[in-house]
């Protein structure tokens, strides 16, 4: 018996096939500037697991929270150079519940931004598939985070920062100027620095945190040309 995910996947394929069959085949992707804003769902795994811990030079001990799936928003600014290629400035942020082994849950924000390329395969004036590649900066901010020092338990905020690369793809349905885009992105992030409130300066992590991130997005776009 087919699962709900299999049924959904089949329905999406049927919808895409129907759209492709209906769009004209004598037109091309958009050139010029475009803006996009939309909504995302994100997951982050790897070393953000609720059990990973480390100690800084002041002997403060940190326990890295596990992020539950979160939702947020995404921003795009791009410029198309022809039928198949565009440069993009991308940014996204999502809100999460963070869980810890033996500790209370807290709140966290996962954000990233960077410069990327969009490679399009236009199938008509109103429809195109695309691939997206980007290099990014990444941040995970924990609020009301538990910081354990020898003989002391206090509440503080911690921000982990680093870098990453993403790849993925999707499709866009376009009108004269407005479009709607559906995409799925896979993000390989490395967090290598941290900053905690009440602790002086930013410090390097004793071992880098490897964090795979997935992003599902729907974005509403305006093409200026």
| 10-52: pLDDT as tens digits | 544 444 454 444 444 444 457 899 999 999 999 999 999 988 8
Assign residue 116 the CATH number of its domain.
Answer: 2.40.160.20
Whether 38 maps to a domain, the answer reads: yes
Which residue would you say has higher pLDDT here, 22 or 68? 68
Structural domain boundaries, residue 155: 31-223
Whether 179 maps to a domain, the answer reads: yes
Which pLDDT score, from 0 to 100, does residue 71 have?
Answer: 97
Query: How many angstroms from the chain centroid is the CA of residue 5?
Result: 22
Whether 11 maps to a domain, the answer reads: no
> Mean pLDDT in the chain?
85
Tokens encoding 90: 């991308």
Buried b (16+ CB within 10 A) or exposed e, 75-88: ebebbbeeeeebeb
Whether 121 maps to a domain, the answer reads: yes
HEC sequence for 187-205: EEEEEEEEEECCCCCCEEE
Tokens encoding 2: 């087919």
Radius of gyration of the chain (CA): 21
Whether 191 maps to a domain, the answer reads: yes
CB 95 within 8 A of CB 71: yes
Tokens encoding 125: 């004036």
| 90-125: pLDDT as tens digits | 999 999 999 987 778 899 999 999 999 999 998 877
DSSP string, 54-107: EE-TT--EEEPPEEPPEEEEEEEEEEE-SSSEEEEEEEEEEEEEEEETTEEEEE
Distance CA 188, CA 211 (A): 6
% of residues, the chain, pLDDT over 70: 84
pTM, to two decimals: 0.82
Which pLDDT score, from 0 to 100, does residue 151 have?
Answer: 55
**Phi, psi for 18 (deg, rounded to 5):** -65, -40
Q: Is the dihedral of CA 80, 81, 84, 88 positive or negative?
A: negative
Whether 133 maps to a domain, the answer reads: yes
Q: Which residue has the tokens 């985070």?
A: 145
Whether 1 maps to a domain, the answer reads: no
Whether 25 maps to a domain, the answer reads: no
Split into its structural domains, the chain has a count of 1
Burial label, 70 (beta-carbon count in 10 A; 0-12, 13-18, 19+): buried
């Amino acid at each position: 018996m087919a699962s709900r995910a299999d049924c959904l996947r089949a329905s999406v394929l049927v919808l895409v096939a129907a759209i492709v069959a209906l769009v004209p085949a004598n037109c091309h992707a958009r050139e010029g500037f475009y803006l996009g804003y939309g909504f995302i769902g994100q997951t982050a795994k790897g070393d953000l697991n609720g059990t990973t811990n480390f100690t800084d030079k002041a002997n403060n001990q940190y326990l890295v929270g596990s992020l539950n799936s979160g939702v947020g928003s995404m921003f795009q600014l791009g410029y198309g150079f022809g039928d198949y290629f565009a440069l993009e400035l991308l940014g996204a942020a999502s809100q999460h519940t963070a869980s810890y082994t033996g500790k209370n849950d807290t709140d966290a924000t996962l954000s990233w931004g960077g410069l990327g390329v969009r490679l399009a395969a236009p199938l008509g004036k109103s429809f195109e598939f695309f691939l997206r590649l980007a290099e990014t900066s990444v941040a995970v901010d924990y609020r009301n985070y538990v910081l354990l020092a020898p003989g002391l338990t206090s509440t503080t905020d911690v921000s982990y920062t680093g870098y990453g690369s993403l790849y993925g793809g999707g499709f866009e349905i376009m009108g004269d100027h407005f479009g709607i885009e559906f995409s799925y992105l896979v993000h390989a992030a490395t967090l290598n620095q941290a900053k905690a409130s009440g602790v002086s300066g930013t410090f390097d992590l004793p071992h880098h945190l490897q964090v795979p991130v997935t992003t599902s997005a729907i974005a509403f776009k305006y093409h200026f040309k």
